[in-house]
Amino acid sequence: MIIDPRTYGAKADGMANDAAAIQQAIDACSSMGGGTVRLADGTFLSGSLRLKSNVYLEIDASARLLASPDIADYSPDVHHNRYRNEHDIDRCFIYAEDAHDFGLIGRGVIEGNAESFPNAGSIYRPMMIRMLRCSNVHLENLRLYDAAAWTTAFLDSEYIWVRGVDIKNDKRYNGDGLDFDGCAHVFISDCYVRGTDDNLCLQASSRERPVHDIHVTNCEFTGVCAGIRIGLKSIGDIYNVVIANCTMNRVWREGIKIESTEGGAISEIAVSNIVMRNVTRPIFVILNNRFEPDDYGTSIELDHIPAIGRLGNIDITHLTAVDDEEMAKTHMRFTDDVMGEPKFAGIRFDAADGHPIEGVTLSDIRYTFIGGVNKSDIPADCEYPKVLDRLKEPEGRSSENYYPDWSRTAFMDLRNIDDLRLKGIRLRTLHDDERPAILTEGCDDMIVDDIRVNGVDWR
């Protein structure tokens, strides 16, 4: 069954609000057992839409689904964003709850109308897509452009296929691409993601909904924060994650970022065949604990400082990261938010004393770093801080994601890792750098084989 929303009065002229007609078509299709609601030949302006089981909303190559510029057209009854202090992006454009066997498909465009929701001067900015407790979901071949906040948020859902999607979300803060919280059995392939925040996130805000069996392949990422972020929201466990055959280009923070910060366990992570160009920190991994009620990175569900969780069994192999002269610059998000510069770069693993990361393999890595950092560029009176266990040391500065804003090594800073394997690593600077190439501190059961720095054997 294929239904055209024009049957219910849609104008498709980009001026009249077609939300009621599109929703009627979706509801009718659902009541008749399912099928496809097809948007074609025009621009369909709409506020919040609710997808239903067994119904595919198809945006044809001749169509555009355009988000309304009026926040009043977005329902407040679409769950919420799960980051503390970010209630301004609770609303969303396309929503599904407790639905199954459905999706968004087609070769057309869904446009979020970001310019109608400025970073300042407007309280609310709707996400583009949010799905809660759904299963057997398909998001395929669409162009998702200019969301006013996150592009997608899949929450407590399973069996999700995201294929051939083109995401461009680089006009506003919170420009995430693909976010998964409490999800399992996720298949992401052949996507392009560009944004002002994390391109792809795996999060676990509940112990009851672990994140597992995640597959990411054949994708390209570019943006301001992380290419792929695993954790931060990590009350629950995250495991069985495979990332392969991806490229990252012009990522001003991290390529691969893994953070176990809220008491859960992150483990069994395999990363292979990754190529990065102009990525400030190719790999960043940290195990700590934190609870900052006024901080944007804290889960709504967290109400106390948790015990330090667990992080381990991380295998990163066949990774190539190359800088060119562009990386000699300081890179910003918009006009005043520094994201990366040469003194703040490199591959870093870190954990609190007594809570090591357990089981790390870094093999067949080639990293060409811009270099050029002098000792005078680093604060002379500032000792590089440790990661603190906040249950034991609630005061004092702890080494974390955004602090300190400098690196004590040129290439690799590896601290508090048990069972560390380094093999077949080639490191090179474009300009002389006065910092140590590699530091390994508190690393027990370490095996090093075949590491060369600027053509010379390390150690």
Give per-residue pLDDT as tens, 242-270. Answer: 999 999 999 999 999 999 999 999 999 99
pLDDT at 318: 98
pLDDT at 172: 85
Report the candidate in 381, 364, 338 with the shortest Cα–Cα distance to residue 426: 364
Interatomic CA distance for residues 193 and 150, integer angstroms: 12
Cβ–Cβ under 8 Å, residues 183 and 156:
yes
Burial of 100 (0-12, 13-18, 19+ CB in 10 A): middle
3-state DSSP assignment of residue 277: strand
Interatomic CA distance for residues 205 and 418, integer angstroms: 27
pLDDT at 138: 98
The continuous run of DSSP H or E covering 252 comes out as strand 238-260
Interatomic CA distance for residues 201 and 232, integer angstroms: 9
pLDDT at 333: 87
Tokens linked to 425:
């690593």
pLDDT at 124: 86
Residue that is written with structure tokens 């970022």 in the block: 257
pLDDT at 296: 67
List per-block mean pLDDT (blocks of 10 residues) for the chain, which spans 459 residues: 96 97 98 97 98 98 98 95 87 98 98 89 86 98 97 98 97 93 98 96 97 98 96 97 98 97 98 98 97 80 94 98 96 86 96 97 98 90 90 93 92 98 98 96 95 94
pLDDT at 336: 79
pLDDT at 459: 79
Tokens linked to 391:
């249950």
pLDDT at 52: 98
pLDDT at 324: 97
pLDDT at 119: 73
CA distances from 337 to 54, 83, 85, 86, 253 (A): 44, 20, 19, 18, 12
Q: What count of other Cβ atoms lies within 10 Å of the Cβ of residue 376?
A: 8
